[in-house]
Structures are given as structure tokens and as C-alpha cells.
């Protein structure tokens, strides 16, 4: 697949085949894609927990979600990748001190999207899940206090029957030329 094909094929999958596992090789390939991601000061704050154990997945789905929206589709996902950020890495903190920008959040987003794109190339479906209960996830997974849980990725083979909708703003609404608000010719 070309990069364009991967980007076009990627969409949020919310229907998974619970009986078709993701192999260890696939997990390694996805995590390798994350490992090669850029990060502020090359601080590599990311840590990932690849959860396949049915009991742990059940706990995550039962208690690891945010209120109201429970992301029930996750129960069928054979793999949940938990994206964590080590906060006590000095290289990442120094920049934030000067600019106020939380670089670890950018770094996590990039690395996790590398996982998503690699998964797409491998024929796997994914869905980002940011509506989480961080404290419960920390308890379920034994994650220490200086580590933030940023988001989860549900991963597995899609059983979707309808094509996804791609609702996106047009380029002219999101890109400016040379200054804020100046139209960018399409």
C-alpha cells in the first residue's frame, strides 16, 4: 500500500472479530512503527501496554472508560494498546518550561498514529479511545503515578458491513496562506 492508500483506508473501526487474534509479529511491527516516531528532544516518552489477556481486557472495558460513553464496541477487540507517557523525562520537561507547550502530548499523538497507520497497512482496524478513566486504568494495569495514561487503541480485524463516512472540513477552512485567515487557493 502507498502512504496515500493507507491514509485513505484508515478510519475508526468499531466492529471487531473477537475470534481473530492479532499476532505477536503484528504487535511488534506496530510498536516498531511507534518506536521510530519523532519526539521533542528525542525524549521518547511513550510506553505501550499491549493487552490481549481476556480478563484484563474485560476489566479495561468495564472500568477503564469515561462516564456515559462506554465505548462498548471495545469488548470485541482482541487487542487493546494502552498509550502511556513517562512524565519524569527531563529532556521533555525542559522545553515545556520555556514554551508552555506540553510536548509529551504531541509525542504521544504522533507515536500512536504511527501504530494506527501501520495497523492499517497490516489489514487491521483500529479505533482511538480517549474517553477513558485514567485512575481506573492505572489501577487495573499497575501503572505508576508519574506515568500518564493518554489514550487507548482498540485493534483487530474489522467486521464492519457499511462503509465509513468521512466528514471533513474543506481545505479552505483549515489552511491559510502566509497569515491567519488569508485564503489558501485550492
| Site for ligand FMN, rule CB under 6 A | 11-12, 14, 71, 127-131, 151, 164, 166
Please give the sequence-ordered ranges of beta strands (E in DSSP) within 3-144, or none if there are none: 46-51, 79-86, 125-129
Residue 178 burial (C-beta neighbours within 10 Å; 0-12, 13-18, 19+): exposed
| Of residues 42 and 161, the one with the C-beta less far from ligand FMN | 161
In whole angstroms, how close is the CB of 98 to ligand FMN at the nearest point?
26
In whole angstroms, how close is the CB of 131 to ligand FMN at the nearest point?
3
| Of residues 33 and 127, the one with the C-beta less far from ligand FMN | 127
In whole angstroms, how close is the CB of 186 to ligand FMN at the nearest point?
21
Question: CA angle 36-42-45, nearest 5°?
Answer: 80
Cα atoms in the Cβ-side hemisphere of radius 13 Å centred on 34: 28
| Of residues 94 and 109, the one with the C-beta less far from ligand FMN | 109
In whole angstroms, how close is the CB of 128 to ligand FMN at the nearest point?
3
| Of residues 54 and 164, the one with the C-beta less far from ligand FMN | 164
In whole angstroms, how close is the CB of 107 to ligand FMN at the nearest point?
14
| Of residues 92 and 126, the one with the C-beta less far from ligand FMN | 126
CB 45 within 8 A of CB 85: yes
Cα-to-chain-centroid distance, residue 76:
17
Q: Are β-strands 125-129 and 79-86 bridged in parallel, bridged antiparallel, or unpaired?
A: unpaired
CB 16 within 8 A of CB 80: no
Determine the residue with CB nearest ligand FMN: 130
Pairwise CA distance, residues 119 & 36, whole Å: 15
Amino acid at each position: 500500500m502507498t502512504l496515500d492508500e493507507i491514509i485513505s483506508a484508515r478510519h475508526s473501526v468499531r466492529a471487531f472479530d473477537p475470534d481473530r487474534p492479532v499476532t505477536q509479529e503484528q504487535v511488534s511491527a506496530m510498536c516498531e512503527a511507534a518506536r521510530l516516531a519523532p519526539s521533542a528532544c528525542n525524549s521518547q516518552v511513550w510506553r505501550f501496554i499491549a493487552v490481549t489477556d481476556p480478563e484484563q481486557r474485560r476489566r479495561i472495558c468495564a472500568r477503564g472508560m469515561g462516564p456515559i460513553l462506554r465505548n462498548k464496541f471495545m469488548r470485541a477487540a482482541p487487542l487493546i494498546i494502552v498509550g502511556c507517557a513517562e512524565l519524569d523525562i527531563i529532556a521533555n520537561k525542559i522545553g515545556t518550561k520555556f514554551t508552555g507547550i506540553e510536548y509529551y502530548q504531541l509525542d504521544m499523538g504522533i507515536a500512536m498514529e504511527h501504530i494506527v497507520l501501520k495497523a492499517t497497512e497490516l489489514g487491521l482496524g483500529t479505533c482511538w479511545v480517549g474517553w477513558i478513566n485514567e485512575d481506573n486504568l492505572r489501577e487495573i494495569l499497575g501503572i505508576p503515578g508519574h506515568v500518564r495514561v493518554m489514550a487507548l487503541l482498540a485493534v483487530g480485524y474489522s467486521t464492519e458491513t457499511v462503509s465509513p463516512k468521512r466528514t471533513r472540513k474543506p481545505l479552505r477552512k483549515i489552511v491559510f496562506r502566509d497569515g491567519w485567515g488569508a485564503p489558501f487557493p485550492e
